[in-house]
Chain A
Amino acid sequence: MAVIKQETTSEKLRGERNGSDTFSKGSTEDTSDQSKPDTPAPKPYVSNDDLYRRSSQYKLWSYTSATLLQIRQDVYKEGVKLAKERLSETKQNLIRDSTPEVVELLKSHEFSVDSLLDPPNLTEENKFLTYYSKILLNTGDFFRMPTQVKATAASFFKKFYLINSALEYHPKSVLYTCLFLAAKSENYFMSIESFASKLPNTEPKDVLDLEFIVLKSLKFTLLVHHPFRPLYGLFLDTQAVLLYPSPMMYDVNVDTLGGLYDKAKKWLVDYAIISDVELLFTPPQIALAAMYDTDKRITDKYLKRKFSDTNEYDQLVHTIVKCIRKAKDVEIPSKDESKLIDKKLFFVLHPERLLKKKTKQVNNAAAPTDAIPQPTSSNENSTAVATPVTPAAPLSI
């Protein structure tokens, strides 16, 4: 972050008055950068925007689209690296414990880590995560959670995968933990027993084990500023601006605005929660985008009256339009598609199964006509029967 700038500002302020440095870590370009150290400039004012700039959401979890993409790529690369390490380690272990024939097989070119591993690519991974965000919301509905809790959980989920890769933590278990954590942080408490008992194949331990990892990935910032309350505030302010002292538009009254508010709220639930907009825009901007996309005419009139300065107006509308495009630019993959990705992911997360499957394939290919399986592979096969190679459908919610 803006390291240099921060230092100069805090030094300057230390000169002016001692103490109160606990809050000086925030970036306050707008207020304090203008005042020069030698002239006792008028006391800086802290606007609401400056307050937002102090929030963890702005400091830690707001990115430009380029940085966001960069972060995703880095995390993906790291995930692939870890997956490869996992695979080679498993292979080493297998080589140590196996008969010479198998060892020879494992050392062949076909079993090299690079050719063996087939991880889902970055787009696939993102699609898969989107699919799971949707499932997260459905699960929230199943628990009858308020929208606020669901939105927080989705936000946690999204942020978790900005730090970790899906190639390391399967989203299925992470989503439960996110949901449970969000319920706690949004004061919608439910006991872990009742929570886990309603989920398929889940023990309390499965949820709780990940809790600290999720918390750490979130950098312990649990407060999420959602666009819902700003939307409500804008609903109030549109009333003030458009209806008083006399109605601005002949066909707009309290009821039309109320309708607009309800539709915009639905828009937020449908688009804003799943997409990346919360990482790219501020809550009021997202709320405005929802209104703008719902009823462009009224919102535009409101903005024009509110921001008489055309420069500011243009900038805001530009941002809003961008936000709408980002919010709608989300593709939720079909169930079949995500199943295919899940299959790939399964072998990335369980390299021993991958090795087993490959061995079987090779053996089958080597002796397709042999009635009796070769002695070396019989052992392998018998275990493979005991535990089915294909993963149990993970999408059974």
Chain B
Amino acid sequence: MIEDDRSKDMCPICKTDRYLSPNMVFLINPECYHKICESCVDRIFSLGPAPCPYPKCGKILRKNKFKRQVFDDLVIEREIDIRKRVNSIYNKTEEDFESLESFNSYLEDVENIVFNLTNNVDVEQTTKDLNKYEEEHKIEILEKNMRESQKNADFVKYQESIAQLKHEKMRIQQQMELEDLEYQRQQKQVLLDKLASNPGGSSEELIAQSNSNILKRSSLRKRQFQQLTNQLDQRIQTSNPFKRGRSSESDEVGSSTPFTPFKGDRDLNKRYTLLDTGKTDADVSTGTYHDPYVSGLAKNKEFLGAGWRLELVFERALDEAFMGMGCFIDKEKELKAEVKLEGGDGISV
């Protein structure tokens, strides 16, 4: 263990130890993945390509290919490099394919190539194929790269605009707060003046009046602010190319049946129709369930905060009300008994 640690922290060429020169850095070359310290790289390779100094390696290395090691495990480091290289050539995405299946088979091909290269299976043939593909699809690859970078730029733009929006909102809010403070001070001053000018009048009334004024104004302001932010939100929504696509997608997912572990999909046609449990009591025409106790709970913030919902209570009760209503045990079990008799000695469960 100790041996290992020490060899890990020591350049095998110049035998410099990390203990003695703490800011030394190891570099590797994707040709042979041998570890060499930075000063050795400078010393050996600054005059042009040279063979690897490791005994029995002898591969010709260039200085500009040296890079820092990211992963501790060199096998992984190597695989990542190969993956990067292959992916830069096979750079199609799902939208380039007509069906999911063809995309999946494409991905499988890519995976095969990566596997062959990392595990040294058929390296020659695979490299040849890879080069051939690159040669043949050069223009496509370039185009794809261009599109991707465009997309990335779009995304960056979008993020920027979101940040800007946030900033704008903050600014408006701050400004409004300042104005409000100013207004309140003014009101106070007005009130004091009024109180001073008519000493005979009832002071309570005046105070109440000014308070209600302030309240009215603040609620108005709140609404104004809400409107402004809504406008801003909308503007960003319409100009955003990403959001729209996503929302339509989520709609699709919502309408399909959820996964069930029950050998078949859950029957979504319930035997009942859940009435609207909207909070407005005035809307009686569509109907709502009447249960004062449970509805009372629905006003309790502690319940709501924990995720408790009124309609879930109703839904569960209704579900259970029809869970087994059509199971006529007398008949079904009798049937089973007969089957068992006919079947003779089966394995009993």
List A residues at the B interface (Cβ < 8 Å).
1-7, 13, 20, 22-25, 27-29, 31-32, 43-55, 58, 62-65, 67, 225, 229-237, 239-240, 243-245, 254, 258, 280-285, 287-288, 306, 312, 315-316, 319, 322
Contacts and interface: CB of A to CB of B under 8 A. Distances in A.
15 contacts: A24-B263, A43-B265, A45-B267, A55-B324, A62-B329, A62-B333, A225-B324, A229-B317, A230-B317, A230-B323, A233-B321, A244-B286, A288-B325, A312-B326, A316-B325
A235 B261 CA distance: 30
A1 B265 contact: no
Contacts of A280: 329-330
Contacts of A43: 264-265
A32 B263 contact: yes
A150 to B, nearest CB: 19
A1 B336 CA distance: 6
B316 interface: yes
B98 interface: no
B133 interface: no
B275 interface: yes
A44 B262 CA distance: 10
A244 B275 contact: yes
Interface string B248-286: 000000000000111111110011110100000000011
B261 A236 contact: no
Contacts of A306: 271
Contacts of A13: 263
Contacts of B290: 239, 254, 258
Contacts of B285: 245
B49 interface: no
A284 B347 contact: no
A32 B264 contact: yes
Given A44-B264, A46-B266, A52-B324, A63 B329 contact: yes
Contacts of A319: 328, 330
Contact of A233 (B261, B322, B334, B340): B322
B264 A46 contact: yes
Interface in B20-62: none
A239 B288 CA distance: 8
Given A4-B339, A45-B267, A240-B275, A51 B262 contact: yes
B269 to A, nearest CB: 8
B339 A2 contact: yes
Contacts of B321: 229-234, 236-237, 284, 287
A49 B264 contact: no
A229 B328 CA distance: 19
B335 to A, nearest CB: 8
A357 to B, nearest CB: 44
Contacts of A284: 320-325
B338 to A, nearest CB: 10
A67 B265 CA distance: 33
Contacts of A240: 272-273, 275, 287, 289
A236 B289 contact: yes
Contacts of B322: 48-49, 230, 233, 284
A285 B324 contact: yes
A237 B318 contact: yes
Contacts of B273: 240
Given A48-B324, A254-B290, A316-B325, 5 more contacts: A1-B336, A5-B336, A233-B317, A280-B330, A282-B327
B4 interface: no
B144 to A, nearest CB: 37
A246 B285 CA distance: 8
A22 B48 CA distance: 66
Contacts of A235: 291
